[in-house]
Amino acid sequence: MKHECCAPNCEYDLAVIGAGSAGFSAAITAAEGGVRVALIGHGTIGGTCVNVGCVPSKTMIRAAEAVFSAQSAHRFPGLRGEAQVSDWAALIAAKEDLVASLRQKKYANLLPGYHGVTYIDEGPARLVLGGVEVGGRKIKVSKVIVATGGRSAVPDVAGISEVPTLDSTALLELKALPESLIFLGGGYIGVELAQMMARLGTRVTIVCRSRLLPRAEPEVSEALAKALRAEGISVVEKVTYDAARLDGSRTVVTVTVNGAARDLAADHLVLSTGRIPNTDGLGLKEMGVETDQRGAIIVGDDMATTRSGVYAAGDVTDRDQFVYMAAYGAKLAARNAVLGGKECYDNAAMPWVVFCDPQIAGVGLTEAQAYAAGYDVKTSVLPLENVPRALAARNTTGLIKLVADRANDRLLGGVIMAQEGADSIQTLSLALKFGMTTKALGETIFPYLTTVEGFKLAAQTFDKDVAKLSCCAG
């Protein structure tokens, strides 16, 4: 296949800026198609997920679940368990070992196997006419994919720059387990890490401007707040962030709740108010690459930017901020940029997961989104107490909600809040992908005493009271 940059003065066919999940996905896809790729490092190889995001947080969350599982064994008559953090340093070291191992195995060690990929780690890269500038030299190339990821955002709060704060990365690198923490923000990062730290023995307060998981269904937000409070976590919702200051060695945050000012104090303040794209210094404006109000690169369905020949993927864009969607978008970008592809980004059946406990996972449209899209909406909400698996586990905290089109009974979306919700959501994702109706889902055979069976029961709830059915009778 002939590429645009096959002339002698071009060193590569494609330059990929960023060596995280999106960058590697783009580079591997292009290399497998016979393309010469310059993979330009941006930060630590492996990017956010393996180094400071998914991998370290999820292993720590599992550790916290182990502690909590032992402590909550008393929900079964005749059982009692105890567990606590006995060596914080050892726990953190194990997390670091896992990160280092996966970074080596799934990123650094892969490069020698792709002879078409040249890894360049010579400092920050910048888009210039005719290619990319990095390390004081210009790489001539006609096609570029920007995949530089994102970083934690700092909210606009008076005094915030004058007090020491932690982001999700610094939190997981603390030398000692803190006695108390305030989490500013109740999105998925704040919820996951706040519950994790509370289960490991820290007093935790979450404050948020609206509600927990504001983009999720309101029934889920309400149930989650109740569950976290039951574990001893203070959840303060619908607040205004007024100011932050130091009081000795402690951080004090002043918020307004129901019109009244309130001071909250803790050992550390954790910023979990979202993430912003890494676009500084890339020369985007000079090259005509448009960004949105957050600074994220605007891309079309083909992952192309407003500059011809420049594509982007992952957290640096205005698309979905999930590692698997970053890899997916980068694959499309590579195919469209240098392999003659004409593929379009499709997230209609994209599942998402919040790794709190109970886990929360969803796919498709929420009820509000479905109404906004003009559908004649119908919904069903099934409390987990109607799911035999939850009864057997003596843990009925949670629910399942399905959203459907009343006109044709087609499923539009849904969410599950359950202990095994993360591993169940793909069933609903496939149901949406293939246009399933609630009737068809309700008539599908599911194995008994599984969490995923709850989707069948929730589908049946549109037409009947499942509490009046015997086991497996539906």
- Number of neighbours of residue 66 by Cβ within 10 angstroms: 12
Q: What letter does residue 315 receive in the DSSP assignment?
A: G
In one-letter notation, the amino acid at residue 109 is: N
| Residue 6 confidence (pLDDT) | 45
Q: What is the pLDDT of residues 59-80, one digit of tens each?
A: 999 999 999 999 999 999 999 9
Give the pLDDT of residue 467: 87
* Euclidean distance between CA atoms 61 and 40, whole angstroms: 32
> Are 132 and 139 a contacting pair, CB within 8 Å?
yes
187 a known binding residue?
yes
For 80-100, write each residue's pLDDT tens digit.
999 999 999 999 999 999 999
Within-domain flag for 345: no
In a domain, 365, yes or no: yes
Annotation-wise, does 81 bind a ligand?
no
8 A C-beta contact, residue 351 and residue 429: yes
Shared-domain flag, residues 289 and 333: yes
For the stretch 132-151, pLDDT in tens is 999 999 999 999 999 999 99
Q: Are the C-beta atoms of 380 and 461 separated by less than 8 Å?
A: yes
Q: In this predicted model, what pLDDT tens digit does every residue of 328-344 receive, in sequence order?
A: 999 999 999 999 999 99
Q: HSE of 162 in the Cβ direction (CA atoms, 13 Å)?
A: 10
Taking the CB of residue 323, how many other CB atoms lie within 10 A of it? 22
Nearest alpha carbon to residue 313 among 292, 295, 332: 332
Would you say 41 is a known binding-site residue?
A: no
Q: Of 256, 273, 290, at which residue does a domain stop?
A: 273
- DSSP letter, residue 470: P
185 part of a folded domain? yes
Range of the domain at 454: 351-464
Alpha carbon distance 36, 372 (integer Å):
45
Question: Is 143 one of the annotated binding-site residues?
Answer: no
Is residue 274 part of an annotated ligand binding site?
Answer: yes
Query: Given a cut of 50, is residue 8 above it in pLDDT?
Result: no
pLDDT reported for residue 1: 36
Residue finishing a domain among 223, 258, 273: 273
Whether residue 234 is found in the same domain as residue 187: yes
Element (H, E) at 21: helix 21-32
Residues 6 or more apart from 88 whose CB is under 8 A from it? 174, 176, 177
Q: What is the model's pTM?
A: 0.95
**Residue 311 marked ligand-binding:** no
pLDDT of residue 80: 97
To the question of whether residue 315 is assigned a binding role by annotation, the answer is yes
Residue 359 CA to residue 354 CA, distance in Å, equals 6
Q: Are residues 356 and 319 in the same domain?
A: no
Q: Identify whether the C-beta of residue 359 lies closer than 8 Å to the C-beta of residue 421.
A: yes
- Tell whether residue 185 is among the known ligand binding residues: yes
Structure tokens given for 367: 């009820």
pLDDT greater than 50 at residue 2: no
Q: In CATH, what number is assigned to the domain containing residue 445?
A: 3.30.390.30
For residues 367 and 402, membership in a common domain is answered with yes
> What pLDDT was estimated at residue 36?
97
- Rounded CA gap, 107 and 113, in Å? 11
- The reply to whether 58 sits in an annotated binding site is yes
C-alpha 279 chain-centroid distance = 20
Of 251, 273, 295, the domain-final residue? 273
Total of domains in the chain: 3
